[in-house]
Chain A
Amino acid sequence: MKFSFSNRRAFVSGITAALLALTAGMACAQADKPLRIGFSMARTGMLANATPSQMNTYELWRDQTNAKGGMDVGGVRRKVEFVVFDDQSKPEQAVRIYEKLITDDKVDLLLAPWGTPFHLAIAPVLEKFKFPMVGNTAASVALRQVKPGYIWFPTSAIPDRIGAELTAMLKTQNVKSVAVLSNVLPFTKEIKNFLEPELKKAGIEIKVSTEYPPDISDMTSTLTQIKQANVDAVLALAYPGDSVLYAKQAKELGLNQPFQFVAIGPSDAFFPKAVGAASAEGVVTIAHWSPRAEWKGSQAFYDAYVKKFGEDPDYLNSALAWMSLEILETTVAKTGLDKAKMRDMISSTTFDTINGKVKFEGVQNVITPTAFVQTQKGKLQLVWPASMASSKFEAKKGW
């Protein structure tokens, strides 16, 4: 057969069409294959009260994403499927689980567990297998040593910054003396390590400084000491579990200082439920987000969360979880699942999130300022720093 011009064109078009069909077919097959995202979550154990705020956020995102046809992976949308295991609030278990997820389940992407100890525990695993993961509900100065990194922290609640900012806030409230009590778990312990030198530098007297184990069941002795000490402010560096115990026993003993700071717990909806709205009122805690017009998507996130779960999201942990998902989404849409490219992009890009812009230098987010919120009339308001505040600090009127 003679290859005339028209024949050749037909031939080429035919081949092209066939190739296109094949690629489309492959892409469709790829798109049909669900995208498996793995993580561990403390469903049982000491921290189980705190993790729903993060798990809910993950699920909300998955449902929204799948409703859109799936996650954008380098141009192709794939439905998202979670592979979740319970780490029982034990960092050891989290290590095993993430190893399993990477080597045995061979998931496509990883999401972060809840809490600083867990992020710290799995960081070496991520480094070993060169698998990048965007962290969220964790902060530690210890991980700045990690170079090159496979984990990033969008939060601004880094212990050394918290120490400095909290001291500054106390100064503006004319606080002259404080009592510091701290859970010995890594995050709160680090805060204490940085906070106390800052307080000393600012001339604020630390009348009581004490620590307690995570499984503490009675704080009476410690709180009695604090009551006798007559301080202007009490800084309870507590985790969600002991935050409730602290609030209840502070109420019993009548710790009525106008400035009450509880590190982790009050930003989550379970706190006012467990201690009562009156007790929760006026407590200052760590968070750097609230739904605001200038942060695109923040109100939408808030509304969607309330609609699906019937309660407020955790202003610290849910927001961070969502931010980490946004960062992952943006990255994977561009780079696909290439781990090296993902890592490069996350390390160098400025991302838009529901908390404003986020950019990482090393493992840390350098844009979001360290902030604090306070429960006012049942709602969490940003009260520090002034540049970001939505309301002014109000003195707490007893528990």
Chain B
Amino acid sequence: MTVLETLLSGQLLFAALVTGSLYALIALGLNLVYGTMRLLNVAHGEVVMLGAYAAYWAFSAFGLSPLLVAPVVAAAGGLLGYALYRGIFKGLLADSSAAQVQRMESNSLLLFFGLSIVVQNATALVFTPNNRAYNYLGTVYHWGSVSMTGNRLAALCVAGTCCLLVAVFLGRSVFGLATRAVIERREAAFIVGVNVDRVQWLSFVLGFASAALAGVLVSMLGQFSPFSGFPYTIAGFIVIILGGLGNAMAGLLAALLLGVIETYGVALTSANMRSMLLYGAFVAALLLFPNGVFARRAAAR
């Protein structure tokens, strides 16, 4: 396949869109939690994985369609986020003095890392570490030269719709405005009367819910195991670093860009290079933006 053929391939475009839309959904949640609370949730991918397992069990044990189950799983994810917020993080953040903020951020990363290890291995203990998969919406549709399996098409539609909805919500609604205010300057938002606490827990809820939803969609597409969540976390981080914090639309674009790099990059080189490309992008993004794209944030707390 020549380079031009590769670039013009509708099939690859479809694949890039599917991957990109999932990354967008995942990055959205990450963005919300990090933007409002500066917590690098390295365990975000684990919520995705748990959502995948929930859908898997719903389907295998009860024959429930994952699309039906999705809202329930998303709600459960949101609940988990709320519980975590109220339980741990609200207290942690309330009495952090300015001097300890940066150290706490490194520590919070380690904390989430520990959490992700615990969740991964506990899940493996309970559900066995073996790969799981199921067959749903397996029929292949054809549109021109592009073949699309039903489940991938559904994933694209659901993820795309949700992302757009949340982006519009963040951009237009009052709450969205409040959220962006908190992301930009927390203390100032508080002073002007924004209910920072509410913004924070709503962000947690939305963030975890979107991750769980992404998990349901992912479970339809292929095999997963308790350790599949992590690559999604990494992808999510690349997206939010590239796209900028609190900027939902830019995040969506960055996610699509990543999907494109991955799909076309692999097609032009080989699947062996996929992880190299991904981590190369990751390292490059961090080196180019040493304080995250939002350089002002550190001083403004």
Q: Do chains A and B make direct contact within the complex (CB under 8 angstroms)?
A: yes
Residues of A within 8 A of B (CB): 44-46, 48-49, 88, 184, 210-213, 216-222, 224-225, 227-229, 241, 244-245, 248, 251-254, 274, 276
Residues of chain A lying within 8 A (CB to CB) of residue B129: 44-45, 48, 88
Q: Which of B224-273 contact A (CB under 8 A)?
A: 228, 231, 263-264, 266-267, 270-272
> Which of B128, B223, B263 has a CB less than 8 Å from the CB of A44?
B128
A391 CA / B231 CA spacing, docked (Å): 45
CB <8 Å contact, B11 and A218: no
* B133 on the A face (CB < 8 A): yes
Q: Contact between A212 and B272 (Cβ–Cβ < 8 Å)? A: yes
- B residues 126-162 near A (Cβ < 8 Å) are 128-131, 133, 135, 138, 140, 147-149, 152
Known pairs A228-B1, A244-B223, A245-B223; A213 contacts B266 (CB<8 A) = no
Q: Tell me, rounded to whole Å, the shortest Cβ–Cβ distance linking A80 to chain B.
A: 27
List 5 extra interface pairs beyond A218-B15, A225-B267, A228-B1, CB under 8 A. A45-B129, A210-B272, A213-B271, A220-B263, A253-B11
Pull 15 A–B residue pairs with CB atoms less than 8 Å apart, ordered by A: A44-B128, A210-B271, A211-B270, A213-B271, A213-B274, A213-B275, A220-B12, A221-B12, A221-B266, A227-B11, A229-B1, A241-B223, A245-B223, A252-B152, A276-B135
Q: Is the Cβ of B130 less than 8 Å from the Cβ of A213?
A: no
Interface centre among A49, A225, A248 (most CB of B within 10 A): A225
Residues of B within 8 A of A245 (CB): 222-223
Given contacts A217-B223, A245-B223, contact A253 B271 (CB under 8 A): no
Q: Does B9 contact A (CB under 8 A)?
A: yes
| Contact mask for chain B residues 1-20; partner A; CB cutoff 8 A; 1 contact, 0 none | 10001100101100100010
Q: Do B12 and A218 have beta carbons less than 8 Å apart?
A: no
- In the docked arrangement, what's the CA distance between A220 and B138, Å? 15
B138 to chain A, nearest CB (A): 8
Instruction: Name the residue on B nearest A253 (C-beta).
Output: B147
Contact of B11 among A213, A217, A224 (CB under 8 A): A224
Contact A244 B133 (CB under 8 A): yes
Complex alpha-carbon distance, A48 and B225, angstroms: 11
Does B124 reach chain A (CB closer than 8 Å)? yes
Nearest 10 pairs between A and B by C-beta? A212-B271, A221-B267, A44-B129, A220-B15, A221-B266, A252-B149, A48-B130, A224-B11, A228-B1, A210-B270
Q: Are B266 and A222 in contact (CB under 8 A)?
A: yes
In the bound complex, residues from chain A placing their C-beta under 8 Å from that of B222 are 217-218, 245, 248
Residues of B near A88 (CB, < 8 A) are: 129
Most A CB atoms within 10 A — which of B5, B19, B223? B223
* Contacting pair B130 A251 (CB below 8 A): no
Chain B residues within an 8 Å CB radius of A225: 1, 6, 267
Interface residues of B in 96-151 (CB under 8 A from A): 124, 128-131, 133, 135, 138, 140, 147-149
Contact B147 A254 (CB under 8 A): yes
Q: Is the CB of B130 within 8 A of A224?
A: no
Chain A contacts of B263 at CB under 8 A?
220-221
CA distance A219 to B262 in the complex (A): 12
User: Roughly how many angstroms separate A88 CA and B121 CA in the complex, as a whole number?
Assistant: 12
Complex Cα distance, B1 from A314, in Å, reads 37
Does A49 lie within 8 Å of B130, measured CB to CB?
yes
Q: A48 — which chain B residues lie within 8 A by C-beta?
A: 128-131
Closest to B264 in A: A221
Q: Which residues of B contact A224 (CB under 8 A)?
A: 1, 9, 11-12, 15, 267
Chain B residue numbers with a CB within 8 Å of A229 are 1
* Alpha-carbon distance between A44 and B127 when the two chains are bound, in angstroms: 11
* Residues of chain B within 8 A of A276, CB atoms compared: 135
B133 pairs with A211, CB closer than 8 A: no
Report the Cα distance A49→B128, complex, angstroms.
Answer: 11
Q: Give Cα distance in the complex from A218 to B149, angstroms.
A: 13
A213-B275, A229-B1, A254-B147 as given contacts; A220 in contact with B11, CB under 8 Å: yes
Contact present for B272 and A211 (CB under 8 Å): yes
Which residues on the A side are within 8 Å of B138 (C-beta)?
248, 251
Which B residues lie within 8 Å of A210 (CB)?
270-272
Bound-state CA distance A220–B13 (Å) is 11
**B268 — nearest CB in chain A belongs to which residue?**
A221
Hey, which chain B residues are within 8 Å of A217, CB to CB?
222-223, 228, 231
Q: How far is the CA of A184 from the CA of B222 in the complex (A)?
A: 20
Q: Which residues does chain A contribute within 8 Å of B131, judged by CB atoms?
A: 46, 48-49, 241
| Nearest CB on B from A370, distance (A) | 28
Cα of A217 to Cα of B149 in the assembled complex, Å = 16
| A219/B271 in contact, CB under 8 A | yes
Q: How far is the CB of A175 from chain B (nearest CB, A)?
A: 20
From A211, A220, A221, A276, name the one whose CB has the most chain B CB atoms within 10 angstroms. Answer: A221
Residues of A within 8 A of B275 (CB): 213
B266: nearest chain-A partner, CB-CB: A221
Closest residue to B142 on the A side, CB-wise? Answer: A254
Which residue of chain B is the closest to A227 with respect to CB atoms?
B11
User: For B6, what are the chain A residues with a Cβ–Cβ distance below 8 Å?
Assistant: 225
Nearest chain A CB to B194 CB, angstrom units? 41
**Min C-beta distance of B10 to chain A, whole Å:** 10
Chain A residue numbers with a CB within 8 Å of B5 are 228
Cα(A297)–Cα(B131), bound, Å: 34
Collect the chain A residues with CB atoms within 8 Å of residue B140's CB: 251-252, 254
Q: How far does the Cβ of B114 sit from chain A's closest Cβ, in whole Å?
A: 20
Give Cα A45 to B128, complex, Å.
9
User: How many whole Å from B9's CB to the nearest CB in chain A?
Assistant: 6
| Residues of A with C-beta under 8 A to B130 | 44, 48-49
- CA of A248 to CA of B138 in the docked complex: distance in angstroms? 9
Alpha-carbon distance between A184 and B275 when the two chains are bound, in angstroms: 14
Bound together, the chains give a CA A146 to CA B135 distance in angstroms of 45
A48 to B127, CA, bound (A): 13
A250 to chain B, nearest CB (A): 11
The minimal Cβ–Cβ distance linking A273 to chain B, given in whole angstroms, is 11
Q: Is the CB of B223 within 8 A of A212?
A: no
**Which residue of the partner chain B has the closest CB to A241?**
B131
Q: Mark B270-295, 1 if CB is under 8 A from A, else 0.
A: 11101100000000000000000000
Q: Is the CB of B124 within 8 A of A44?
A: yes
- With the chains together, A213 CA to B130 CA distance in Å? 18
Q: Which residues of B contact A45 (CB under 8 A)?
A: 129
Bound complex: CA A12 to CA B205 (Å): 92
Q: A221, B15: Cβ atoms under 8 Å?
A: yes
Q: Which of B9, B133, B152, B267 contacts A274 (CB 8 A)?
A: B133
Interchain nearest-CB distance for B246 vs A (Å): 30
